[in-house]
Amino acid sequence: MKPAFALFAISVALSSCATPGPIASDPGIAVSSGPTAERLTGGYMVVAVNGKRALSSFSVQFSPSEYGGYDGCNSYFGQGLANGARYFAGPGSQTLRGCTANTSRGRRMLAQGQTVAQIVGGGFTARDLGNGRIMLISEHDGTATGTVTIEGALQKAEVTASNQMPLSGTAWEAFLLNSERSAYVKTADNQYLRFSDDRVAAKFSCASFVGGYVLDGNRISIVDLAVTEGENCTSADDIKDAEFRALLTSEMRYSATENSILIGSPAGELYGDKERPLAR
């Protein structure tokens, strides 16, 4: 399924593009709670980046399952998902137009645009500043590492079963659990998340999980979760399985396409590819 924001002929993974330098820290920003991210709907103009006035007409767009934007040179888009104040972003793509700048201001403008794309495409916490302005806060271990301030109206999009891909009969693999944005790579083939009409079976590291599930729009609630411990599990396996279990038993929301699933909750995030048959 082609993303609504993908009005571009050529795309590449954002993670394969050259990345700008570290994002400047803004110690004066506290990460806030509340459902602000769920109210990000439609298009917004960027007015500030890391506390400095935006040097170009950067724009960002959000829907219940996608994000997109323009960084002053290229357009980008990806799978997205809001849960409370947090916005989760899956691997993205962008156009391949090359831009150069011959002036100091031009170079700063392109760097600003790349910072916006990094923060939006890496996931963020949204904070309502009032007066039609919203701050998107990139964070690490609860500390803000970069900010983008956008301007526009907050209005929560209606998320119903009719505008979500059904999960029954789907199967996913190659998960990325609580990964940094740059760490989206394929992992082991023995990971899976499989949905039937009302049951779910899952495995991440060593233990296996089964239970029932209930859908409400894009909310997933797993009930009566049972765990079967695997053989010869290491302490590293136990840590990853504990993270996976915490996610499965939390208040999850999902965004799914024909090829990928993104799950986000207060306990973390999970990204997976469509399960493929094992090679013979």
* CA–CA dist 166, 217 (Å, integer): 10
Phi, then psi, of 259 in degrees rounded to 5: -120, -10
User: Given this model, what pLDDT does residue 279 score?
Assistant: 52
* CA–CA dist 68, 105 (Å, integer): 25
Residues 220 and 127 in one domain: no
Final residue of a structural domain among 151, 177, 204: 151
User: Given this model, what pLDDT does residue 158 score?
Assistant: 63
In a domain? residue 254: yes
Residues 143 and 167 in one domain: no
Final residue of a structural domain among 126, 151, 176: 151
In a domain? residue 6: no
Domain that holds residue 266: 161-274
Final residue of a structural domain among 151, 178, 193: 151
In a domain? residue 4: no
Please name the residue that has the structure tokens 């156009």: 95
Q: Which residues contact 128 (CB under 8 A, 6 or more apart)?
A: 34, 36, 39, 134, 154
User: Given this model, what pLDDT does residue 14 score?
Assistant: 34
Residues 144 and 172 in one domain: no
Give the start-end residues of each E strand in 63-218. Answer: 66-70, 75-83, 86-94, 124-130, 133-140, 143-151, 171-177, 192-195, 199-203, 208-216
* CA–CA dist 247, 200 (Å, integer): 14
Residue range 55-90, pLDDT digits in tens: 888 899 998 889 999 988 889 999 999 988 899 998
Residue 200 belongs to domain with CATH number: 2.40.128.270
User: Given this model, what pLDDT does residue 200 score?
Assistant: 96
Residues 168 and 192 in one domain: yes
Domain count along the chain: 2
Residue range 108-129, pLDDT digits in tens: 888 898 899 999 998 999 998 9
Residues 75 and 203 in one domain: no
Residues 107 and 184 in one domain: no
User: Given this model, what pLDDT does residue 253 score?
Assistant: 92
Helices (H) and strands (E) in the chain, counts: 2, 18
Residues of the chain predicted below pLDDT 70: 1-35, 156-163, 179-189, 277-280
